[in-house]
Structures are given as C-alpha cells and as structure tokens.
Amino acid sequence: GAVVSQHPSRVICKSGTSVKIECRSLDFQATTMFWYRQFPKKSLMLMATSNEGSKATYEQGVEKDKFLINHASLTLSTLTVTSAHPEDSSFYICSAYQRLQRTEAFFGQGTRLTVV
C-alpha cells in the first residue's frame, strides 16, 4: 500500500511554544490530507481537511488560529500547534488521499504531542 510518513513520532514541548508536524505522502500525490486528533482511549476526531493549494477546512469547534494547516504541495501537509498548552497534548494523526486513484486513506504513524 501507499506510504504516508509523519514526523516527528513523538515530541515534548514547553507550554507556550509552537510545534510543527509534517505529513508526507511518499509514493503518490495526495490531493487531500486529513488531520485527526485522538484522545487516550478515544476515537479519531477529524480536525480539518486540507486540499492542495487551498485553505484548510476546519471542523466545528477546532480553532484554526491555533492549529495552522498548510498543504503547499501534493506530497506535504503540515500542522502547526501554536502556543501549545497542556490540554493540546494528544495523539495527532494525518491521512492522505488521492481522490481519483484511491478510495482508501493511508495514515501516517501518528505524532504523540506532550506539552509540559
């Protein structure tokens, strides 16, 4: 299957700092990338959908100024958690999808963010 690489896999940051998470599709062009957040023992909650070359679409309740998403190319999307706080600690996972060629989304390995 297709490979989606997410980096870093783990990050610890101080409260108030910003953290950038990268999501790369390695062997296909991802027209769409999704960003999810998963709280411990909970399901995946869609945060936003990013389409290459356009602004991300955020789900209700997700602060777009806090979670900045950039999808500048067909192989890379980034999620920046700005001014992180302990409540932002979570598992963030991206998925990449190519609408015309594939109907399953391939997921990155996830990033465990801990804000101290």
Instruction: Report the interface residues with other proteins, using CB under 8 A.
Output: 1, 32, 34, 41-44, 46, 49, 91, 93, 95, 97, 99, 103-110, 112
Least Å distance between CB 16 and other proteins?
26
In angstroms, rounded to a whole number, what is the distance separating the alpha carbons of residues 29 and 60?
Answer: 27
Q: What's the first-to-final CA gap in the chain, in angstroms?
A: 36
* Nearer to other proteins (CB atom), residue 42 or residue 85: 42
* Nearer to other proteins (CB atom), residue 20 or residue 91: 91
Instruction: Return the SS3 of 88.
Output: helix
* Nearer to other proteins (CB atom), residue 14 or residue 41: 41
Q: Say which residue the tokens 């709280």 belong to.
A: 39
* Nearer to other proteins (CB atom), residue 35 or residue 78: 35
Q: With contact defined as beta carbons under 8 Å apart, do 66 and 82 qualify?
A: yes
Residue 68: both structure tokens together: 């900045």
Least Å distance between CB 41 and other proteins?
8
Least Å distance between CB 104 and other proteins?
5
Q: With contact defined as beta carbons under 8 Å apart, do 28 and 2 qualify?
A: yes
Least Å distance between CB 10 and other proteins?
10
In angstroms, rounded to a whole number, what is the distance separating the alpha carbons of residues 60 and 35?
Answer: 14
